[in-house]
Amino acid sequence: MSQFTYNNGVMHAEGVSLSAIAEQYGTPTYVYSKAQLLANFDSYADACAGRDALVCYAMKANSNLAVLDLLARRGAGFDIVSGGELLRVLAAGGDPAKVIFSGVGKTVDEMRLALTHGILCFNVESIPELHRLNEVAASMGKVARVSLRVNPNVDAKTHPYIATGLKANKFGVAFDDALDTYRAAAKLANLEVAGIDCHIGSQLLDDAPLLEALDRLIELIDALGAEGIHLHHLDLGGGLGIDYGDEEDSAPVPVGDYLGRVFKRIDGWRAERHGGKPIKVIFEPGRSIVGNTGVLLTRVEFIKNGEEKNFCIVDAAMNDMARPALYQAWMDMQPVVQADTGAATYDVVGPVCESGDWLARDRALSVQAGDLLAMKTAGAYGMTMASNYNTRGRAAELIVDGEQVHLVRRRENPADLFALESLIK
């Protein structure tokens, strides 16, 4: 996280002290770095330069409108999984013609919305979805561009909750069923078979499973071509991991190295079997673009020394950052102001009424009540997974640009939370 460093013993986001941010905006608060966000996106864009390729940001990782706007202005497309996410893209000024619509349960209304705005493609995940989309498109007098999300049965070797490419997962069409499913799609009058897609999982530190999945897709594309079904694009999804600070034996594969291997494999294949004819390549990165752009800033409320455990009780909780409770995820926790006093071992926990409400376990910290902590690498799957459990308002969100701080989402208050509710009269 090169944009979050200590200056005179105080952690800064770019040129702004996190202590000053907490003083002005309160806690808990998500703080993002604009420079880091754009640098992460550019690592993909630069590797794709000169090629027919599109980087569609997987916005489920972080869907703040300001984040989407910055990426849209950089040329990003978007991978969405709901109609609401499409409306966010539109509100942020994104181009619907660069939108890929993924997800296993698209409703009729969501299909209508996407067709109305002329999205690039639907990633279809089942035969029933093919028929529903064909019927919806026919009722609107439109033709829907589709790719099939193929499940290549490749083990991503990641947490089971974020593995999506095995036979046991709910996602995609089974590899062995893909040919028949493409044949069925090609016969439907209001569908245009445009591409192929896969996404095998998330937080992958090694690109070998991704390259294995690519080889399986290549095999299928050639089989389809032999039957006269020619695809215009190849969508490899996302999944590249980032460094949360706990990987002792391995580091995330650099984006440029991974994309270089992908393009080398594709170029060799196209030269050998297709006379050098190119194919459009689409990527759907999420975490690797926003994960290390942000921290969750929180304040220590109490230090509670127990018989078996010491607890550092902070004002952030599992409703603000669900990853530790949901995935047992390890996330680095550092004091905003460095201290010289001796450290003790604490579980960092929140005030939510659940034993599962923890942010970090067994951490050596030199802290006392009133101190600030920064949960690092919190830009992905923090705010988008946040809830209002215990009637807790969700955190504020800020973007730092050099020495400027922009409030891009105000903190919720209790009145916001029950504004949509009503009493029985």
Query: Is residue 337 pLDDT above 60, yes or no?
Result: yes
Task: Please report, in range form, the residues annotated as the binding site for pyridoxal 5'-phosphate.
Answer: 239, 284-287, 381
Task: Please report, in range form, the residues annotated as the binding site for substrate.
Answer: 287, 323, 327, 354, 381
Residue 398: enclosing H or E segment and its boundaries? strand 396-401
Average pLDDT estimate for 53-63: 98
- What DSSP letter does each residue of 258-292 carry, written as one string? HHHHHHHHHHHHHHHHSTT---EEEE---HHHHGG
Question: Taking a C-beta distance cutoff of 8 angstroms, is the pair 288, 255 a contact?
Answer: yes
Dist. CA 266–CA 277, nearest whole Å:
11
Rg (C-alpha) for the chain, rounded Å, is 23
Q: Where in the chain do CATH 2.40.37.10 domains reside?
A: 4-31+291-417
Q: By three-state DSSP, how is residue 358 classified?
A: strand
Binning pLDDT at 50, 70 and 90, where does residue 206 land? confident
Query: Is residue 159 pLDDT above 50, yes or no?
Result: no
Active-site entry in 56, 198, 312, 353 = 353
Q: Higher model confidence: residue 274 or residue 62?
A: 62
Q: By three-state DSSP, how is residue 137 classified?
A: helix
In the chain, the percentage of residues whose pLDDT exceeds 90 is 86
- What DSSP letter does each residue of 314-351 carry, written as one string? ES--TTT--HHHHH-----EEESB---SPPEEEEEE-S
Query: Is residue 253 pLDDT above 70, yes or no?
Result: yes
Structure tokens at 256: 């440029």
| Lowest-pLDDT choice from 159-168, 354-363, 407-416 | 159-168
Instruction: For the domain covering 4-31+291-417, report its CATH number.
Output: 2.40.37.10
Query: Is residue 248 pLDDT above 90, yes or no?
Result: no
Average pLDDT estimate for 74-102: 98
CATH number, domain 103-283, options 3.20.20.10, 3.40.50.2000, 3.50.50.60, 3.30.1330.10: 3.20.20.10
The 10s digit of each residue's pLDDT in 222-244 is 999 999 999 999 999 998 999 99
Q: Is 353 known to be catalytic?
A: yes
Q: Where in the chain do CATH 3.20.20.10 domains reside?
A: 103-283
Task: Please report, in range form, the residues annotated as the binding site.
Answer: 239, 284-287, 323, 327, 354, 381
